Structure 1
C-alpha cells in the first residue's frame, strides 16, 4: 500500500506527454490529483521556456489546465540559487528565453562580456564561440560557474539532438572549476521545488520516467520516487541498479493516489 503524500513533483516529457504527442494516462493522473486536491508541481530540466509557455502547452495541447505557478524549470531554480548569494549582481548568460526571464525576474543585470559575478549557462541553440569565450574570461576572472542541467541529448522527431549538457561541456572544457549543476539529478532543483510547495522531503513523491535524472534526483534529495515505464528507462536496465525506486508502474493509470 502506497504512503499518503502531501505533494507530487512531476516530470513532463516521457511522463505526462511524449514530445508533441498526448499521453492520456498523464492527463488522467493530473486530473486525479486535482480531484483529490493534492498539491503538485511540474519540475522540468528544460530552461529554454518560461513557466507561462510550459503552462500554455499543457493547457492547450494536452488538456491539462495549468498555471505558471505550477511549473518549476531548471532556469527558475538556477535564478533562485544565485539569488541566495549576496555577491551576485551581474550575470553573463548563455541560454534562451526561459533562463533570461528567470534571471531578470530576480533582478539580475544581464551582461554579454566580462566582468561578471556569475556565468549562467543552459541550452542555447544560438551558441557561438564568442559567447563561450566571454564566459571563459569571466570565470577565469572569478565569476561563479552555474549550469541549468547536464542533459546530453534531447529526444526530438529528428532524433537525439544535443542538450544543455553539450553546451555546458563546451565551456567546462575551457575552465576550472566544474560548474554547479542545478537541475535533475542534482538536489538543488528538488530543494527549490519543495520550498515552492512548502513541503519537507518526506511529504513529497518524485514522479518521472528517467531513472538517471528524475529518480536519482529523488535519491539525492531524500524524496520517495515513482518510476513510470512510459518513457526513457527500461525495466531490465533498472533492475540491475543497486538502488531501486520506491515504486514502479507501467502506466500512471496504475497508480492510486492515497489521500
Structure 2
C-alpha cells in the first residue's frame, strides 16, 4: 500500500485477545518503528488511561508508549473542549475519562453540568441514571464515549458503555453525540494527533461494524485483518450489514506487514 501517512491500529481482536497477544503483533509494531511509519493505538475503551493501555500492551510483549495511545475518552474530552472551552461536565465513567476531561481543561461538577459525558462505569446505579437523565432533560448535552453494547471480561461478556447510554437515552428522551467507532470523531481526532489528513491515514482493525465503518466514515483507507471478530465466513454478511468494504483484507498480521511493505 502506497502513500501511507500513518496507521490507526485497533487493539482488541487486532493485536490481542483479552490478555493474550495475537501472533505477530510484537513483530508488526517493531517493524513499523524500524520503517519510521507513524502510528497510534486507537481504542474505544474509555476506562483506561493512555498509560494504562500502554502498560497492558507491554505486559503482553508489545512495545508501547502512552503518547502512542488514542482513546475514546480523549476524543470525547477534546470534542467538548473545542465546542465549549472550560465547560462544566458531569462524568459517568472511570479513570480514563476523568483524566481526559481534566487534562482537556474541563470543569468537573456534580450538579447542573453543561455536559453529561458517559463511558463505561462499573459503579453505575439507579441514582446515576436518575441524575444524568434529569440533567439532560434540563438542557445538558449528552456525550457518549463509545456505543459498545457489550465488552469482554474475565467473566465473559458484560454490559458496555453503549448499554448504559441506551438507558440514559431512554430515560431522558435525548440521543447522545457518539464519539467512538463506528462514528468518525475518534478517527478524525487520531489523525489530528498524528498531524495528517484523513485520506493519508489507514485504519487497521478486525471489526467491520466499528473499525472499518469508522475509517470509511472519516475518509480514511482501511485494512481488515481476519484476526478477530470478522472471518472469511462472515465477511460478506458484515459487508452487507455495514454497506462498506475494506480497501485491503489480510488473513493475519504477517500478511499485513507484507501489504504495508514493512
Does the CA-based 8 Å contact 1:112-1:134 persist in structure 2?
A: no
Cα distance in 2, alignment partners of residues 171 and 107 from structure 1: 25
- Unaligned ranges ≥5, structure 2: none
Tell me how many residue pairs correspond in the alignment. 256
2:189 corresponds to which residue?
192
- In the alignment, which of 122, 127, 131 is matched to residue 130 of structure 1? 127
Q: Deviations over 1:118-152 (max 9, x none)?
A: 00001001101111111111111111110000001
2:253 corresponds to which residue?
252
- The offset of 1:236, in angstroms, is 2.5
| Runs of 4+ more than 3 Å apart | none
Q: Deviations over 1:46-92 (max 9, x none)?
A: 00000011111112x12222211100000000000000123662101
Structure (1/2) with the larger helix percentage: 2
- In the alignment, which of 200, 219, 222 is matched to residue 203 of structure 1? 200
Q: Deviations over 1:78-123 (max 9, x none)?
A: 000000123662101100010001001112221223x110000010
- Unaligned ranges ≥5, structure 1: none
Cα distance change on mapping 1:136 and 1:181 into 2, 3 Å: same
Q: Identify which range, 155-164 or 201-210, moves more after superposition.
A: 155-164
Alignment RMSD, CA only? 1.3
1:65 corresponds to which residue?
63
Cα distance in 2, alignment partners of residues 237 and 181 from structure 1: 26
Cα distance in 1, alignment partners of residues 244 and 114 from structure 2: 38
1:5 corresponds to which residue?
4
- In the alignment, which of 164, 184, 199 is matched to residue 161 of structure 2? 164
- The offset of 1:7, in angstroms, is 0.4
Instruction: After TM superposition, list the pairs within 5 Å mapping 1:145-184 onto structure 2.
Output: 145-184=142-181
Cα distance in 2, alignment partners of residues 99 and 87 from structure 1: 17
Cα distance change on mapping 1:188 and 1:167 into 2, 3 Å: same
TM-score (norm 2): 0.94
Cα distance in 2, alignment partners of residues 24 and 238 from structure 1: 21
Q: Identify which range, 237-246 or 45-54, moves more after superposition.
A: 237-246
Cα distance in 2, alignment partners of residues 177 and 157 from structure 1: 33
Does the CA-based 8 Å contact 2:87-2:107 persist in structure 1?
A: yes
- In the alignment, which of 60, 78, 81 is matched to residue 80 of structure 1? 78
Does the CA-based 8 Å contact 1:45-1:148 persist in structure 2?
A: yes
1:42 corresponds to which residue?
41
Cα distance in 1, alignment partners of residues 244 and 147 from structure 2: 21
1:230 corresponds to which residue?
227
- In the alignment, which of 69, 87, 90 is matched to residue 89 of structure 1? 87
Cα distance in 2, alignment partners of residues 9 and 146 from structure 1: 23
- The offset of 1:234, in angstroms, is 2.0
Cα distance in 2, alignment partners of residues 142 and 243 from structure 1: 35
